[in-house]
Amino acid sequence: MGVIETSRGRGDTGDWTDRACPIHNVAVTDLSTAAALRTLDLLPDPVLLVRFSEAEGPQIVYGNEAAGEHFRLAIPGVAVGAALRQPVLLESVENALETGAPAEVAFESIGVQPRYWRAFIRPLGPAELVLVLRDETDARRTERMRADFLANASHELRTPLASLAGFVETLRTHAKDDAPAREKFLGIMAEQTGRMTRLINDLLSLSRIELNEHIAPSGAVDLVQVLQDVADGIRPLLAERGISIAIAADGPAVVVGDRDQLVQVVQNLVDNAVKYSPTGASVGVAFQRAENLEAARAPSRSGGVTLSLLTPDAADQAYQVIRVADVGRGIARQHLPRLSERFYRVEGQSGGGTGLGLAIVKHVINRHRGGLIVESEEGAGATFTAFLPAATVT
């Protein structure tokens, strides 16, 4: 934008008077100018001023604080294409500069946690325009959540509901006076009802997670304590199966996260390991700290196949790693890429689940800006590794 030089007006006082604004590269000497800039900085939507020059093309010469936070714009003079990298948006900006006509365009930002934006382009002159960006992520996610929930619920509930209807009809007719058959059918109906309840709960949980997936959590959670709470909760199942949990931890493993959601992650990973382990086996859960992404992704098995189901953006971030290993049959190579899909079940290894457990795990870890890896060796079990940003412990 350059430097605005104006005379000092009557009553020109306040913190912004005679002060340079380093973010905008503007020397403020007029209260009205300072108030205008401050007002723009208070807006929640990113606002950019774009100017065209023959030598440099379209450049951003001003951005408010919201623009700096969302698009990492610290100083003016950045090319629009380098800052936004959205072909449909760049085309609309160039067209507006050329024709002087206002425009409106929707686009999706690139990244592990995509965001949905709507850009309002308004020309100010022959070579200048203002660009206002509105974040529509919450609205889009809410709309998609409703559609997905209805589609998934109607599809997955169709089979158990048909079974219940068939058993009810049988109990009202052929098995009306057959006590043994009646008890058998009532048991199956109770099982199907329980499955539908679990399915609805998992679908609701997954929908809530996806709705806020773009908002990173901010709390501090000790994964070792979470595991101990999960182990206490499934103690009856462990006793029934004769399975033990071997924990390897040097101390607390504190991460930045939402405790309730991380309980779901650990619960699902441990439940799967217990389900697919033979009677009398031991499930291993190990914790360690990794100083960067490369260390967090280091394999824990010498054989088998390793596949990353989710990779975070930050390579230099320190992570807390949790590995859950079983000694079951393992998972065939062709199934690994689809493990975190909704309702995907490995043939003969569903374990009575809803097929949503690993989908929940993946979306929770994605919200926490972490990663997920599966290692499997047929006949020798599988290891699931989750790593999440380590919290700074003071």
Q: Which domain holds residue 361?
A: 216-394
Distance CA 379, CA 229 (A): 30
Q: Above 70 in pLDDT, residue 349? A: no
- What number is the average pLDDT over the span 231-256? 90
Q: Is the pLDDT of residue 23 over 50?
A: no
> In this model, does residue 14 exceed pLDDT 60?
no
Higher pLDDT, 114 or 287: 287
**What residues have CB less than 8 Å from 169, skipping those under 6 apart?**
none
The mean predicted confidence, pLDDT, of the chain is 81
**Tokens 């997936």 — which residue?**
213
The whole-number pLDDT of residue 393 equals 66
Q: Which of 86, 118, 135 corresponds to the end of one domain?
A: 135
- Higher pLDDT, residue 161 or 231: 231
pLDDT at residue 351, as a whole number: 56
Of 18-22, 65-69, 111-115, 291-295, the range with the highest mean pLDDT is 291-295
Mean pLDDT of 162-168: 81
For the chain, what percent of residues have pLDDT higher than 70?
A: 85
> What pLDDT does 247 receive?
92
Query: Using an 8 Å Cβ cutoff, are 318 and 289 in contact?
Result: yes
The DSSP bridge partners found for residue 107 are 117
Q: Which two tokens stand for residue 223?
A: 């994964």
Strand (E) or helix (H) holding 108 = strand 103-108
Query: Where a domain ends, among 116, 135, 154?
Result: 135
Q: What is the pLDDT of residues 177-224, one digit of tens each?
A: 788 888 888 888 887 887 788 788 888 888 788 778 878 888 899 999
Same domain, 252 and 372: yes
Q: Say whether both 58 and 192 belong to one domain.
A: no
Domains in the chain, number: 3
3-state per-residue secondary structure call for 144-202: HHHHHHHHHHHHHHHHHHHHHHHHHHHHHCCCCCCHHHHHHHHHHHHHHHHHHHHHHHH
Identify whether residues 296 and 178 lie together within a single domain: no
Q: Is residue 370, in this structure, part of any structural domain at all?
A: yes
Say if residue 35's pLDDT is above 90. no
Task: Find the mean pLDDT for residues 314-337.
Answer: 90
- CB neighbour list of residue 76: distance below 8 Å, 6 or more residues apart: 1, 24, 25, 59, 60, 61, 62, 63
The confidence score (pLDDT) of residue 140 equals 79
Q: Is residue 26 a part of any domain in this protein?
A: no
Q: What are 46-70's pLDDT values in tens digits?
A: 898 888 887 778 888 888 888 887 7
- In this prediction, what percent of the chain has a pLDDT beyond 90? 27
